[in-house]
Amino acid sequence: MRITDDLTVWRERRAQPWGRVGFVPTMGALHDGHASLVERARAENDVVVASIYVNPTQFDQATDLDAYPSTLEQDLARLEALGTDEVLLPRYEQIYPDGFRFRVDETEFSRTLCGAHRPGHFGGVLTVVLKLLNLVRPTSAYFGEKDYQQYLLIRDMVAALFIDTTVVACPTVREADGLAMSSRNLRLDPAARCRAPIFHRTLCANLDDATVRERLAAAGFDVDYVETRYGRRFGAVRLATADGSVRLIDNVECSR
């Protein structure tokens, strides 16, 4: 596994033909959900590239960025064990030489659901993903369905901007109790971790959205939204911990 943290070196190497390239962009703190994306990429491509970059432009709160978990050594060991060929570790000044002067702005769907509660979030997400796709030039890029709004926005951006990459959605990987795997779960203290699975169970209940919101609030969650669209029920909540709160998102297929 080759690790590259210099984009000049990366671009020189990537100018060579690599065959089918599968790409898994991450912000690190890897878990089994990330592993499933790498395994899918490994099965379908000649070369597997993963990136680890905690993108500051998608955080709407500086405290959230500061608290984001970092486990780089473990992440690299895990990627190597999964058969990853290339890892890209870009630096801010290389990703944003313009200081984020130029950015992607989607004007409809990104203003709803998570976008309505995290101003600027999806502008940061779409901008960094576009940059990474241009750098890696993958045949396919793999994204988890836990972040389903993000997946739809990236899929549609790729189509709208004529990027020659197939965006692949992979099923959400869950803990045994139903909690969607997320890097943010590392920030849950024991009491919050015990309560967190109620979120998924309540989203799955055969109830209308308003009743789901009421049930979650009664269970101690600070509810950002619960909304059904595109055949899925989307939800985002905040759960208090000993040193603050953790934001959890999830979505489930829904026939309502």
The residue from 31, 34, 121, 200 that is catalytic is 34
From CA 94, how far away is CA 157, in angstroms rounded? 22
- Among residues 229, 225, 170, the alpha carbon closest in space to that of 199 is found at 225
Judged by phi (left if over 0) then psi (alpha if -120 to 50, else beta), residue 165 lies in beta
- The token pair that represents 49 in the structure block: 């590239």
Pairing of strands 140-144, 21-26: parallel
- The token pair that represents 39 in the structure block: 């395994």
DSSP conformation letters of 77-93: HHHHHTT--EEE---HH
User: Is 31 marked active-site?
Assistant: no
Which SS3 state, helix, strand or coil, does residue 208 take? Answer: coil
DSSP, res 172: P
- HEC letters along 19-55: CCEEEEEECCCCCHHHHHHHHHHHHHCCEEEEEECCC
From CA 174, how far away is CA 199, in angstroms rounded? 12
Residues marked as catalytic = 34
